[in-house]
């Protein structure tokens, strides 16, 4: 029997976590349109695959709600509000991931070198594989972004792209899910 790499995402035990893509901080990020576009693609793909989606808001009283296009794509999903930089301090999120048997998590969000990085490092410390959508995360400056991606990769995160993530989760191309997701990524 031919083995598949254990790092390849499997929809049965994966989830999407969107971290703090709030309008007031998004406006000062590098490539904010790319972050929003690719996050919406991830949301659409995860919905088609009927896979769990979580999202956080950092201090919404001061930073406002999640960006409107993303919030609209999320639909009825409720925000997890937090004050901690890491999502390990976002209520019961980490326990919920474990209870649902989620062992692989896809990350989109801001800022790469603060909330995203601390969350990624904490998820890895809790034996959850992290797939970071490098085209759906950002920082205010490119040096922080590049340094954070490098640090997360060195600590075991899989750094990849939105399209690669969605096609990994699909696995095969002869399904209705493939046709729907192919339209999303174009």
Count CB-CB contacts under 10 A for residue 36: 21
pLDDT in tens, 89-128: 988 999 999 999 999 999 999 999 999 999 999 999 999 9
pLDDT for 116 equals: 98
CATH code of domain 11-185: 3.40.50.850
Q: Given strand 52-58, what is the order of strands in its sheet? A: 80-82, 52-58, 14-19, 104-110, 129-138, 158-160
Residue given tokens 């191309």 in the structure block: 173
Tell me the three state secondary structure of residue 131: strand
User: Most distant CA pair in the chain: distance in Å?
Assistant: 54
Confidence at 144, pLDDT banded by 50, 70, 90: very high
Contacts 24+ apart (CB under 8 A), 31-38: 31/138, 32/138, 34/135, 34/136, 34/138, 35/108, 35/110, 35/135, 35/136, 35/137, 35/138, 36/67, 36/69, 36/70, 38/108, 38/133, 38/135, 38/136, 38/161, 38/162
pLDDT in tens, 38-74: 999 999 999 999 999 999 999 988 888 999 999 999 9
* Domain boundaries, given as residue ranges, for the chain: 11-185
Closest CA to 162 of 186, 133, 137: 133
């Amino acid at each position: 029997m031919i083995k598949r790499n254990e790092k390849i995402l499997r929809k049965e035990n994966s989830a999407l976590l969107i971290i703090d893509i709030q309008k007031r901080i998004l406006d000062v990020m590098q490539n904010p349109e790319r972050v929003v576009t690719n996050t919406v693609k991830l949301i659409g793909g995860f919905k088609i695959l009927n896979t769990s989606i979580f999202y956080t808001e950092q201090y919404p009283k001061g930073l406002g709600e999640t960006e409107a296009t993303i919030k609209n794509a999320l639909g009825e999903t409720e925000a997890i509000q937090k004050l901690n930089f890491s999502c390990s301090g976002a209520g019961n999120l980490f326990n919920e991931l474990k209870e649902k048997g989620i062992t692989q998590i896809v990350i989109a969000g801001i800022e790469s070198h603060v909330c995203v990085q601390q969350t990624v490092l904490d998820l890895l410390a809790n034996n959850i594989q992290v797939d970071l959508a490098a085209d759906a995360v950002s920082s205010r400056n490119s040096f922080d972004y590049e340094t954070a991606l490098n640090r997360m990769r060195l600590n075991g995160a899989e750094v990849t792209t939105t399209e690669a993530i969605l096609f990994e989760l699909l696995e095969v191309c002869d399904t209705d899910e493939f046709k729907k997701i192919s339209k999303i990524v174009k």
